[in-house]
């Protein structure tokens, strides 16, 4: 095996055209290969192969990565060396002559019940016993107390969610075909259901599209893939090829959750937040896309979520319909999504309030991109007076209420206020305060749009907080409509539900 590994390594070096490479092989363990700089992007390369227990080729495939986000597998593909890339990738995913050993996961009785109901998560506390310790991306086969098969998924020893379950009840192999099929199914589910003139939308909605821990959004010809688990790292090449082949994207950008970004470099396998998995670099880090005929810019690397709040599209469309001739206040406005829809709806004035100066500046640029766009009432978007304010939303509304300033429509769409269960009570009180402030600054008979994206606050808790907050302001809330996620954000399990929004009249 040692001779085989050394031969593969030297073959790769000769293909890439490296010089000065050295290798030491001791039994089945392959040491670090230190390589000189190469011409491609001026990056260095390191082959880190910590092979043991017959997993040498697997680890070689996992750790062949260029700096600056370029993987050697991708580099080889782009240079017509697909046969060698395929060999290494097959090894990295358990193919070829070296098979990865699946982990047998034995779970608690409560977890058995959840798995039979097709829940996509297994937490650390759900696991009674493992056959052996695994690495990120290892296939985990889940069994009940009678050693009967329940489900199969991908293992992550660094996450409280130890297994992202991809298939339940019937036995299935997790391989490139399964991943590619899930990507195609997600694409088909969105075919023909999105609004016209829209090239910004959710492509893969994590567990709800059968690919737990992975979110992919499309902005024009760019796909932005955000990873919430290290379990997918060893599968990135397969995912990237499936996304490009199915979606025809020019570029794929990789983002990582904050928890993932904190993992050791050895776990991240050379990948980094914002690296390019496919295609050319991002021009100035900014993308433009179209949503319902409105052009927006977004910054996927420095911005919120993947760069834009695509889940609020249908609610923005509702705001457009109630804005003709109105003065509109949009707090927590980010880059002006609701503001632009209000302007196209014929609003006379829109005030966009966000504590982030870069966000309000982006909102101004977005208005500039749409100056000549036709608006309701024979106007253009440019004829709407737009007032960007870089200020805390709570303080702005307190000051407006104290000064007697009123608006016809008030939109309150704050970021998540409960990123853990212990903050639920605090979040509910803050939602009450926001609803009270909105009621104080909206004209009698005016409309409020109140939203929450805190998954740990239920729909009933949020809507009750809104009613209570408006009552505290001495007003009456007449509910018009409750809404949830946009159509490209499907829901298949309770914990996946986070967005709720109320449209109401205040009297």
Indicate the average pLDDT of the chain: 85
- DSSP assignment of 407-446 equals EEEEEE-PPPS-SSGGGHHHHHHHHHHHHHHHHHHEEEEE
pLDDT-derived band at 124, boundaries 50, 70, 90? very high
Label each residue of 328-339 as H, E or C. EEEECCCCCHHH
User: What digits encode the pLDDT tens for the residues 260-299?
Assistant: 999 999 999 999 999 999 999 998 889 999 999 999 999 9
pLDDT of residue 100: 65
Q: Is the pLDDT of residue 86 over 60?
A: no
Torsion sign across C-alpha atoms 122, 126, 130, 133: positive
pLDDT of residue 36: 29
Q: Is the pLDDT of residue 94 over 70?
A: no
Flag the least confident range among 34-43, 175-184, 192-201, 424-433: 34-43
Q: Over range 367-383, report the average pLDDT.
A: 97
pLDDT-derived band at 158, boundaries 50, 70, 90? very high
Separation of alpha carbons 399 and 377, rounded Å: 32
Separation of alpha carbons 52 and 60, rounded Å: 11
Q: Over range 20-36, report the average pLDDT.
A: 32
pLDDT of residue 101: 83
Q: Is the pLDDT of residue 502 over 80?
A: yes
Q: How far, CA to CA in Å, does 442 sit from each of 375, 409, 413, 437?
A: 23, 6, 15, 9
Flag the least confident range among 64-68, 129-133, 294-298: 64-68
Q: Three-class SS of residue 472?
A: helix
User: What digits encode the pLDDT tens for the residues 454-481?
Assistant: 999 999 999 999 999 999 999 999 999 9
Q: Is the pLDDT of residue 498 over 60?
A: yes
Question: What percent of the chain stands above pLDDT 90?
Answer: 77
Separation of alpha carbons 466 and 482, rounded Å: 12
CA dihedral 211, 212, 217, 222 (to 10 degrees): -60
Q: Is the pLDDT of residue 319 over 70?
A: yes
Q: Over range 383-395, report the average pLDDT.
A: 98
Flag the least confident range among 18-22, 392-396, 422-426, 482-486: 18-22
């Amino acid at each position: 095996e040692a001779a085989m590994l050394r031969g593969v390594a030297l073959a790769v070096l000769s293909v890439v055209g490296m010089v000065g490479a050295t290798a030491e092989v001791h039994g089945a363990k392959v040491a670090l290969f230190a390589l000189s700089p190469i011409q491609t992007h001026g990056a260095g390369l390191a082959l880190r192969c910590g092979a043991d227990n017959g997993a040498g080729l697997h680890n070689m495939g996992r750790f062949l990565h260029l700096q600056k986000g370029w993987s050697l597998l991708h580099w080889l593909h782009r240079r017509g060396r697909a046969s060698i890339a395929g060999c290494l990738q097959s090894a990295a995913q358990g193919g070829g002559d070296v098979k990865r050993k699946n982990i047998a996961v034995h779970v608690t009785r409560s977890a058995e019940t959840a798995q039979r109901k097709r829940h996509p998560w297994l937490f650390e506390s759900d696991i009674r016993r493992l056959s052996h310790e695994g690495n990120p991306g290892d296939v985990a086969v889940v069994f009940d107390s009678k050693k009967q098969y329940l489900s199969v998924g991908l293992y992550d020893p660094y996450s409280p969610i130890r297994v992202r379950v991809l298939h339940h009840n019937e036995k299935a192999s997790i391989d490139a075909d399964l991943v590619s099929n899930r990507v195609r199914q997600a694409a088909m589910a969105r075919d023909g259901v999105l609004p016209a003139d829209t090239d910004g939308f959710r492509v893969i909605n994590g567990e709800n599209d059968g690919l737990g821990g992975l979110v992919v959004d499309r902005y024009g010809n760019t796909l932005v893939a955000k990873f919430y688990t290290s379990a997918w790292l060893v599968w990135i090449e397969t995912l990237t090829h499936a996304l490009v082949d199915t979606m025809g994207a020019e570029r794929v950008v990789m983002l990582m959750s904050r928890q993932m970004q904190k993992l050791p470099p050895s776990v991240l396998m050379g990948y980094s937040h914002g690296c390019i998995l496919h295609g050319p670099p991002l021009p100035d880090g900014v993308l433009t896309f179209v949503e319902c005929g409105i052009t927006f810019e977004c910054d996927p690397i420095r911005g919120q979520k993947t760069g834009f709040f695509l889940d609020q599209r249908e609610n923005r469309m509702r705001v457009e319909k109630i804005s003709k001739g109105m003065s509109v206040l949009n707090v927590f406005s980010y880059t002006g999504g609701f503001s632009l829809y209000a302007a196209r709806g014929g609003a006379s004035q829109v005030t966009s309030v966000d504590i982030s100066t870069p966000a309000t500046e982006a909102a101004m640029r977005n208005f500039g991109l749409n100056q000549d766009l036709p608006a309701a009432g024979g106007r253009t978007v440019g004829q709407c007076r737009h007032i960007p304010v870089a200020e805390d939303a709570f303080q702005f509304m307190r000051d407006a209420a104290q000064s007697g300033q009123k608006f016809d429509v008030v939109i309150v769409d704050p970021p998540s206020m409960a990123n853990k269960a212990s903050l639920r009570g605090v979040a509910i009180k803050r939602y009450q305060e926001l609803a009270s402030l909105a009621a104080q600054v909206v004209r009698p008979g005016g409309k409020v749009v109140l939203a929450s994206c805190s998954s740990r606050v239920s729909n009933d808790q949020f809507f009750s907080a809104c009613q209570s907050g408006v009552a505290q302001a001495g007003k009456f809330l007449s509910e018009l409509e409750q809404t949830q996620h946009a159509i490209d954000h499907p829901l298949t399990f309770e914990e996946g539900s986070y967005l709720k929004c109320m449209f109401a009249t205040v009297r």
